[in-house]
Amino acid sequence: MQRSPCRPFRLALIQLHVSAVKSDNLQRACGLECFNSPYGTQYFKEYAEKIPGESTQKLSEVAKECSIYLIGGSIPEEDGGKLYNTCTVFGPDGALLAKHRKVHLFDINVPGKIQFKESETLSPGNSFSMFDTPYCKVGLGICYDMRFAEMAQIYGQKGCQLLIYPGAFNMTTGPAHWELLQRGRAVDNQLYVATVSPARDEKASYVAWGHSTVVNPWGEVIAKAGAEETVVYTDIDLKKLAEIRQQIPILSQKRCDLYGVEMKNYRSKKKTFPKGAISKALQSSRANSTFKYTQPSHGPSHV
């Protein structure tokens, strides 16, 4: 895609309340983690959809109607009998540009404060997700993905200048780490980082921290919401990014001869058996057996 060099653009963060009524959420939503569903393992199966589905169709229509790039928060996605926490991106023509499945599942236990285990119901995604716009290349993560510096570094290596994380940090992790992690990812990789949270609802089973935020490559918070429902606007200036990278050229100063972070091909976990075991099983199972030997295979790299 042809880009205008250092062309500024406007970014809007939509921080909304999420209720237990799915139709209300769809009517109001379009930019946070699990926007069509309350956030909780007990809700994911009930609210899960195929993609494309009702929620993503609504996002597509909004993107086309407003002629914008729309990063649609995330929804519980059902695919092949598994559930994923999935973010979709739509272009100004309403076309699906990217789909990111949350790579790192939120399994934590802070005694006396919060315990949560997404892996009770969700499966992890196995790919990096990027998309191009006329302004810049964008990398996607969801919530807990932001804690993993390697993921952000790989996005930077692949040319991303903006990372976007729909997320729902809570009242324990939010005040401690929400802004800290965004500033760290931005400074380490010299790029913009934006996060979008649900608005805080003190009566919800999971209380979100709120404070949707944008951080520039210098680590400065240039836009930030409170806890309430709101929309925050900010201008992304890529000239600022270019200046910082020129002034402090850490990207060209990395010692790749001593260390490195790389994107790997995901290997699907197919069941394999030693050849001797197969012969033995065939002998004991006679003619009615359906025992198949599968050579290990390498899955493709998804970008």
Active-site positions read 33, 102, 143
Length of the chain, please?
A: 303
Kindly list the strands in the beta sheet with 137-140, ordered across the sheet, starting from the edge strand earlier in the chain: 129-132, 137-140, 162-166, 192-196, 213-215, 221-224
Contact 116, 107 (CB under 8 A): yes
* Helix (H), strand (E) at residue 132: strand 129-132
Dmax over Cα atoms in the chain, in whole Å?
Answer: 72
**83, 123 contact by CB (below 8 A):** yes
Q: Are 101 and 85 in contact (CB under 8 A)?
A: yes
Q: Are 142 and 99 in contact (CB under 8 A)?
A: no
Q: Using only C-alpha atoms, what is the Rg of the chain? A: 21
CB 247 within 8 A of CB 217: no
Round to whole Å and give the CA distance between 181 and 301: 27
Tokens of 8: 């500024």
Q: Which two tokens stand for residue 9?
A: 């653009």
27: exposed, middle or buried (Cβ count in 10 Å: 0-12, 13-18, 19+): exposed
